[in-house]
A and B are shown apart, each in its own frame.
Chain A
Amino acid sequence: MTPLFAFQLRRVARNRQFLFFTVLLPALFTVFFTKIFGGQVGSSAEYQSYAAGSMVSMMAYGSIGAALGATIRISFDRASGWLRQLRVTPVPQTQIVGVDIAVGALLTVPSLVVVALVGRFVNGVQLGLGAWLGLVAVLWAGSVAFVALGLLLGLSLDEKAAGGAMGLVSVVLAMLGGLWVPVEIFPESMQVLARFLPSYWYAQLGRDVAAGSAPAVMAVLALVGFTAGFAALAVLVARRRPLYAVAG
C-alpha cells in the first residue's frame, strides 16, 4: 500500500455523499423494491427469483456509482491544481493514475458486499455459498469497465462538467440498462437499446451467476470490449492532455 493509495482512499472515504450513493442508497432500494413488488408475487420460488434479481441490480447500481465516483475525481484534482503540484514532486505520473484505478476497484467492494448482505439477511435471498462468492467476484471483476469509463470522463472533462456527467451517466446506465426496472418490461425498442449499454451486460453477468450458471459469453465479451474501448480512449486523452495540464 503506497502512501498515495492510503491518502486517496482516505479522501474518498471522508466523502459522506459518496458513501450514501454507493452503499446506503442501493441497500435501501434493495429492501424497498423487494418488499413492495416481491410481496405481490405468488410462490416462494417467484419471490426468490424477484428478490435475487433486484439484489443483483442494486449490487450493480452501487458498484457502478462507486467505480465512476472514485475515478471521475481526477478531474477535481486537476481543477484544484493538485495534479500539477504533484508533478513537481518525485511521485510518478503513472502511479497517480494507477492508484486511482486501484481505489476505484477497491471501493466497489463495500457496495457489492453490503447489498449482498442485505439481500441475504433482510430479504432472505437463498443462494449456495459458491454462488454468493461467484456473484461478488464477477461483479467485482466486471466493475473494471466502469473504472475505465470514470477515468475517461475524469480525464476529459473539466470539474463542473465532470460533476454533471457523473449524475447523468449513472442515471442513464441504471435506468436504460435495466437496473431500476427489469428490461423485460421495457418496450421492444428500449430492450434493444439496453444491449448497447455496459450496465445491461454487467447486471447480466450477476444474474447468470446468481441463477447458478456460468456468465453468458456474450456478456463477458461485451464488458471486455467496453473496458478496452474506454481504456484506449482514456490513454488517448491523457496523451493529448497530460495530468499536469492546467484546467480549462
Chain B
Amino acid sequence: MTSSPALGVSGLTVRYGDTTAVDSLDLSIPAGQTVALLGPNGAGKSTVVNAVLGLVPTAAGTVEVLGGRPRDAVRAGAVGAMLQHGGLPSEARVGEVLDLVRRSFPAPWPLEDLVATAGIEGLLARPVEALSGGQRQRVLLAVALAGAPPLLLLDEPTSAMDVEGRRSFWTTMRGLAARGHTIVFATHHLDEADAVADRVVVIADGRLVADGSAAQIKTGTAARTISFTAADDDPLDVLPGVTALDRRGDTVTLTTGDPETTLRALLVEGRRLPDLEVRGASLEDAVLSLTRPIGADR
C-alpha cells in the first residue's frame, strides 16, 4: 500500500476567462473512502472532477492522483470516470464498446462480473442508439469500471435515472466501496450524499464550505427547528434567535440559530406548547444555510 492519498488537491484554482470556478480548494481523500461533492448547480463540483482528470487547465495549485499527475494516473489505468459530457459512440454495440475500453486497461474487470455489477445484463448486443437514458448511464458506469480502477470519479451519475434505477445504482456503489474502491461523486441530491457517502464535502462558489460526515455537517450548523401548536394570532417572530417562521394550520415551525434561548423565551411567557418538537436540521437545511449567504433571497 502506498502512503499517498487516492486524491490530493491543494490550492486548486480554475478560471474560465474572468470567472473563478474553483478558488484555492484543498482536499485530501484517503484510499477507500466514499466522498460526495455536494453543492448547488454551478458551485464548481464538475470543475473539480475535471481538474482531477486533467480535463481543464488549472490556474494555480496542484492535483495529485494516487501520488502522480492526473494524466499519468489516467494513462496507467488507475482512474475510471463518468463525466458530465461523456458519451458513447454511434454505430457501435454495447459489447464492442466495453471490449475496446477493457482492452485498453492493464488489468480489466472480468466481463461477466462487470456486466452484473453495472446491471447491464442482456444489453451487450444492443446498438448504443437503442439504449434508454437510464441504460445509457449504466453502460457509462460499466465503461468507467471496465479497468477495475482503484479511483472512481462520478459526475452527477444518476441524472438520467428514475427512482428505481437510482436505488440500484447506489446499491452497486456501496458494493464497490466495500471492495475497497475510492469513490468520489458530485451530486446536488442531498439524499444521495446522506445515504451513500462516508464523507460529504460541501462546495459553494468554488470554495470548500464544509467537510465531514453527513451527521457532522447536520450538527455543525446550529440551526434547529422548534414546532408546536398555537393559535394563529400569537406574535412569535419577535422571539430571540428565530430566523424563520412557518405556519401551517395550527402548527407553527420556528427555525432558530439558538434553540435554548428561543425555548426559554417561549416558556417564560407562560405559554402552553402542545405537540412541542425540537429537531436538528436536515442535511438540506444545513447545506442551504452553508451555501446561501445569510439574509439573501432564494
Contact = CB atoms under 8 A, between A and B. Distances in A.
Are A and B part of the same complex? yes
Contact of B105 (A7, A76, A89): A89
A82 B89 CA distance: 5
Contact of B55 (A3, A15, A87, A90): A87
A90 B88 contact: no
Nearest to A78: B87
A185 interface: no
A248 to B, nearest CB: 10
B292 interface: no
A246 interface: yes
B28 interface: no
A3 B100 contact: yes
A15 B127 CA distance: 13
Contacts of A11: 89-92
A88 B105 contact: no
Contact of A88 (B76, B79, B96, B100): B79
Contact of A85 (B77, B92, B140): B140
Given A7-B96, A11-B92, A84-B55, A89 B87 contact: no
Interface string B126-158: 000000000000001001101100000000000
Nearest to A88: B81
Contacts of B92: 7, 10-11
A3 B103 CA distance: 7
Contacts, number: 76
Nearest to A95: B104
Given A80-B87, A84-B87, A90-B77, A244 B104 contact: no
Contacts of B85: 81, 84, 246
A81 B143 CA distance: 13
Q: Place the interface of chain A in its size category.
A: 20 to 34
A55 B135 CA distance: 48
Contacts of B55: 84, 87-88, 244
Interface string B47-78: 00000010100000000000000000011110
Interface in A221-248: 244, 246
A162 B186 CA distance: 33
A80 B89 contact: yes
A160 interface: no
- Of B74, B75, B86, B99, which is in contact with the most chain A CB atoms at under 10 Å from its CB? B86
Contact of B86 (A7, A14, A84): A84
B87 A81 contact: yes
A98 interface: no
Interface residues of B, number: 31
Given A3-B99, A7-B92, A7-B96, A90 B76 contact: yes
Interface in A68-120: 76-77, 80-82, 84-85, 87-92
A89 B90 contact: no
B104 A3 contact: yes
A161 interface: no
B293 to A, nearest CB: 30
B83 interface: yes
Contacts of A80: 87-90
Contact of A4 (B100, B143, B147): B100
B100 A90 contact: no
Contact of A90 (B86, B87, B89, B147): B147
A57 B128 CA distance: 37
Nearest to A89: B104
B206 interface: no
A12 B140 CA distance: 22
A78 B115 CA distance: 26
A236 to B, nearest CB: 18
B80 interface: yes
- Of A11, A77, A89, A92, which is in contact with the most chain B CB atoms at under 10 Å from its CB? A89
A77 B88 CA distance: 8
A4 B144 CA distance: 17
Nearest to A13: B91
B104 A85 contact: no
B87 A82 contact: yes
Given A15-B91, A81-B83, A7 B100 contact: yes
A244 B76 CA distance: 18
Interface in A175-197: none
A85 B88 contact: yes
B101 interface: yes
Contacts of A92: 75
A91 B91 CA distance: 20
Q: Which 5 A-B pairs have the closest CB atoms?
A: A81-B87, A85-B86, A80-B87, A82-B89, A88-B81
19 contacts: A3-B99, A3-B104, A4-B100, A4-B104, A7-B100, A11-B90, A80-B87, A80-B90, A82-B86, A82-B88, A82-B89, A84-B55, A84-B83, A85-B87, A89-B104, A90-B76, A91-B104, A92-B75, A244-B55
Given A80-B90, A82-B87, A91-B104, 6 more contacts: A3-B104, A15-B91, A81-B87, A84-B85, A88-B86, A89-B146
